[in-house]
Amino acid sequence: MQFPEESTVEREADVLRAAISVLRNYLPRTWALETTLLGRGRQADAQIRLRAPDGRELTAVLEAKRLVATRDVPAVLERLRQDIVGTERDLVPLIVARYLAPATRDCIVESGAGYIDVTGNLYLAADSPSMLLRDRGADRDPWRGPGRPRGTLKGPPAARVARALIDFAPPYSVPELAARAGASTGATYRVVEFLEQQRLLERADRGLLTSIQWRAILDRWSRDYDFAKANTVATFIEPRGLSALSERLRDQRDLEYVITGSMAAEAVAPYAQPRLAMIYVRDIESAADALKLRSTKTGANVVLAAGDYDVAFERVREMNGLQYAALSQVAVDLLNGPGRNPSEAIALMDWMERNEPTWRR
């Protein structure tokens, strides 16, 4: 889809005009659309009236914004609904913007409203007259340039911040979070702003992080981090099984490693007998030699991973002579794993919720 030039949707009036044009393109030809701009003293920017062929009408009130984050949705809808109070007809609240992120669109629909953005994302539902208009435009902001707040948790710096948010209980400041994460202050602020827009954390008036939805952050991080894709991985077989592998790991005093995945989850929240060992190492070839593993393409029961995400080696847990990754790392690795791994992740996170004081610092 071709998007308008940035200069053509710079003002809120331009956004409103472009959004109404999007809506007009989706209406059946037999429907009429009338637009009324609202003046000062009104919370809404415009009112639109849709008329069906049988004469029945649907009226919606719109507020236009260049940018709307998920956290902004309740306040915008509250203003629109104040404008609706006292009217005789049922009016549909609509939020229009240049671009609306997927989480923002979901929040709007869950709040009982509709939306239009200039890229073609559209949702308008009503009972009388019966109507449902829905389409999908862009899932990424086509106008977002360098230096603007990040829209993902991709990359090692974001992983460091996400891990620290999960591992450390608030309150603390963003600079304190940056120090705990081992990330730059700029990268930390970008991640915090993104997650705040997603309503996954809250900051007090003085900037302290006071509420962190660690489980939701884990789920969001898992969309951008995948054990097999974010690292260089190689598959091996230990013919004598995972118990023999554990014994060999205990004997390796000079090998830097951390166990993640099913073996790590099983140590605190048993779900099923682990069938695959997932292990972070610094160097795959030397680790495979030290552990006497045989390379294989099929039937592997060991996966070694090495890469840029050295956060996997942060806050390692030692149990029974073995080095395990932090539970936050284990959970995200399971969420994107094969087979029953996602179910194991859910069981692990359930355990983490019940036992938060035992693992969260």
Q: Are 157 and 185 in contact (CB under 8 A)?
A: no
Quote the pLDDT of residue 307. Answer: 86
Domain boundaries, the chain: 6-135, 156-222, 227-359
Adjacent-strand bridge partners of 280: 258, 305
Instruction: Supply the CATH classification number for the domain 6-135.
Output: 3.40.1350
Quote the pLDDT of residue 211. Answer: 92
Strands 91-99 and 57-67: parallel
Task: Identify the sign of the CA torsion 116, 121, 127, 129.
Answer: positive
Rounded to an integer, what distance in angstroms lies between the CA atom of residue 114 and that of residue 110? 9
Average pLDDT per consecutive 10 residues, the chain (361 residues; last block may be shorter)? 53 86 86 83 82 88 87 86 65 90 90 92 86 87 61 88 96 93 90 88 84 94 90 94 95 93 91 91 94 93 91 93 96 91 93 94 86
Fold for the domain defined by 227-359: Beta Polymerase; domain 2 (3.30.460)
Question: Is it true that 156-222 and 227-359 share their CATH fold?
Answer: no
Quote the pLDDT of residue 8. Answer: 59
Helices and strands per DSSP (H, E), number in the chain: 14, 16
Fold for the domain defined by 156-222: Arc Repressor Mutant, subunit A (1.10.10)
Rounded to an integer, what distance in angstroms lies between the CA atom of residue 313 and that of residue 129? 59
Rounded to an integer, what distance in angstroms lies between the CA atom of residue 29 and that of residue 227? 50
Rounded to an integer, what distance in angstroms lies between the CA atom of residue 308 and that of residue 153? 15
Q: Locate tokens 């884990």: which residue?
A: 218
Give the SS3 label for residue 279. Answer: strand
Quote the pLDDT of residue 40. Answer: 66
